[in-house]
Structures are given as C-alpha cells and as structure tokens.
Amino acid sequence: MRYTLLKAVFISKPSSNGKVSTPIVGYVLEDTLDNSTHFVSRKEAYNKVTKYKSTNVEAYKRKTICKEDIPDEEGYVYYLKLINGSKIKDFFVPLSEYKKEQLEFWKKLRFSSFCRMKLV
C-alpha cells in the first residue's frame, strides 16, 4: 500500500441539461514511502493505484460516450473509489481553491528560503 488519497480536485461547469456538474480533473495523492504529495491526472492516478496500491481507494475505469465526463482519447473515464465507506465528495476541493493553496505554499517556501539565505 503506497498511496493515500488526500483530495479530489474538481471544476464546476454547466451540463447539457442545465445543471451544474463537478467533473474531477485530478487527485492529490500522498506517497507513503517518502511522505510527498503529488497532483496527478485521473489516468495517472489510476495507473499509480493499480500498480502500487492504495490505503483508502481502488482504481476503476469505464467506457463512456458522454463528453461531460472528460474521457481520454480511447473513450475511458478513470476514477478512484473509496474503500472505507466515505464519500468522494468529502475529499472535493475546487480547482481555484487548490491553486490558491499551492500559491500560498510556494510563497511561504520562497519566503522561508529567502530568510535562511539572509541569516547565513
């Protein structure tokens, strides 16, 4: 068991019937070997979880004809399903919020690196 799902990053967009859909654009996975986190596409998450396993999700793929699901070039939609009984919506984070979190993280990292350089 190598990966753990931390977040499911989604966008909001209107569907063809007028409702707002929330397709997942990627996942944030934690690599338990080195405690690093990675934002990966749905297909990349599928490949990583099927190859190395996960502590809280299983990887699935299905054939689709609906363009709103954002299929790959072969017509498949890749997704992760929680195995502990939780809902995937509990892990949802809007893409705009995720970008803000990353921007804040890099600002803090850059500032702390700058402070260390001045102290040395």
Range of the domain at 37: 3-95
Q: What is the pLDDT of residues 8-41, one digit of tens each?
A: 999 888 777 778 778 889 999 999 999 899 999 9
Question: Is 10 within a domain?
Answer: yes
Question: Is 100 within a domain?
Answer: no
Question: Nearest 5°: phi and psi at 18?
Answer: 95, -10
Question: Is 116 within a domain?
Answer: no
Kindly state the average pLDDT of the residues 103-112: 67
**Total domains, the chain:** 1
Question: Is 14 within a domain?
Answer: yes
Kindly state the average pLDDT of the residues 104-112: 66
Question: Is 38 within a domain?
Answer: yes
Q: What is the pLDDT of residues 44-83, one digit of tens each?
A: 999 999 999 999 999 999 988 776 666 778 888 899 999 9
Question: Is 48 within a domain?
Answer: yes
Question: Is 111 within a domain?
Answer: no
Question: Is 106 within a domain?
Answer: no
